[in-house]
Amino acid sequence: MSKHPSRSPRPTNQLRLLLPEMSTQPASEPRARLRFDVPAGQSRVRLDVYLTRMVENATRAKVQAAIDDGLVLVNGKARKSSYAVLPGDVIEVTLRRPPAPDIVPEQIPLSIVYEDDDVLVVDKPAGMVTHPAHGNYTGTLVHAVLFHAMVSGGAPGRPGIVHRLDKDTSGLLVLAKNEHAHAALAKQFADRTVEREYHAIVWGRMRSPHGTIDAALARSQRDRKKVAVASGGKRAVTEYDVLETFRFLSLVRLHLLTGRTHQIRVHLAHVGHPVFGDLTYGGRSPGWAGTQEKRLQQATNLLKIIDRQALHARTIGFRHPVTEEMMRFSSPIPHDMEEILQKVREAVG
């Protein structure tokens, strides 16, 4: 770890939009809209069934209630739940944002890498959600941080949050402790001047030791919980360097030039090298190791070591929001990833 702050650090101690709320919130609640362009090849299916599949956290009963309340339009017209969705249909769903619940600080172990009056850098473990959201209103990183210190700025229910990591991605996060720090850090992220380096174990051997993956990303039209490469999506750019190669795995270093949801995981899967252990994007199949029985067994054994994607936010660098000094922090590879690397190194040896 290296850092160059000009002030002394303190001693360290340890939206989603929800269909279930749509028909119960007051009319004064802020609204948002989802739009679904039904792709070619979509089989005929009831409108309520289609939306239950497409909207996160939706139940069929709540979808039907929303349709009955006139909050769902197909090609600009209200339809019944039984309407058969057709390729080319444009479905618009009006959502009311549920109020953010009060956040009660929780005494949860927290690895603090650095802290001063303005910023807090923490090393998030895999399995911890960054901030409260539907289904995760307790036990998040924000709950743990608020037990330790006051953080502020940002969206309601996400105090201090400037960026986030997926639940099962480990590594470094910077949080703001006041409004000024939040605004300054958020601008750095928007201007893409924050240094973010990740390490990942991926399936296969990359064709080139260095490369850039430039592929636009958008929410999947088939599964709203996923992100997919899409020509009409937002531009996303990831640079990679291969650090080590093994029989059927590689250790790669990645730099984000943009910060899209699931960017690294989707990009690596897109080029045929999904992150090892990534259930969502195809990384839990031992078949990536090949058809040889010995390799299949080794891959199966390695997958038993880790129950998440082997992705770690190793380094973060930014300018201090007050002193403007450059600060850079690094986090060691976590135990589960290190154990996999040791085993594949031994196998090579």
* Distance in angstroms (rounded) separating the CA atoms of residues 171 and 314: 6
Mean pLDDT score of the chain: 86
* Distance in angstroms (rounded) separating the CA atoms of residues 13 and 36: 47
Q: Which of 126, 160, 191 is the endpoint of a domain?
A: 191
- The secondary structure of residue 21, as a DSSP letter, is G
Conformational region of residue 253, where left means phi above 0, alpha means psi within -120 to 50, and beta covers everything else: beta
pLDDT number for residue 270? 97
Q: Which of 66, 96, 126 is the endpoint of a domain?
A: 96
Higher pLDDT among residues 20 and 128, named by residue? 128
pLDDT number for residue 274? 98
Both 185 and 42 in a single domain?
Answer: no
Output the CA torsion 211→214→219→220 (10° steps): -70
Within-domain flag for 240 = yes
pLDDT number for residue 12? 39
For the chain, report the end-to-end CA distance as a whole number of angstroms.
30
Q: Are 243 and 253 in contact (CB under 8 A)?
A: yes
pLDDT number for residue 54? 83
Q: Are 302 and 296 in contact (CB under 8 A)?
A: no
Within-domain flag for 304 = yes
* Distance in angstroms (rounded) separating the CA atoms of residues 202 and 273: 6
pLDDT number for residue 314? 97
Phi and psi (nearest 5°) for 226?
-110, 160
Q: Which residues are catalytic?
A: 166
pLDDT number for residue 13? 34
pLDDT digits (tens, 9 = 90+) for 126-180: 999 888 776 667 778 888 888 888 888 777 778 888 999 999 999 999 999 999 9
Both 221 and 310 in a single domain?
Answer: yes
Both 242 and 291 in a single domain?
Answer: yes
Q: Are 249 and 342 in contact (CB under 8 A)?
A: no
Q: Are 245 and 257 in contact (CB under 8 A)?
A: no
Q: Give the bridge partners for 171, in sequence order.
A: 124, 313
pLDDT digits (tens, 9 = 90+) for 205-256: 999 999 999 999 998 877 878 999 998 889 999 999 999 999 999 999 999 9
For residue 293, pLDDT over 60 is answered with yes
Both 289 and 309 in a single domain?
Answer: yes
Q: Whole domain around residue 73: which residue ranges?
A: 19-96
Both 317 and 187 in a single domain?
Answer: no
Report the predicted TM-score, pTM, of the whole model to 2 decimal places. 0.74
Within-domain flag for 8 = no
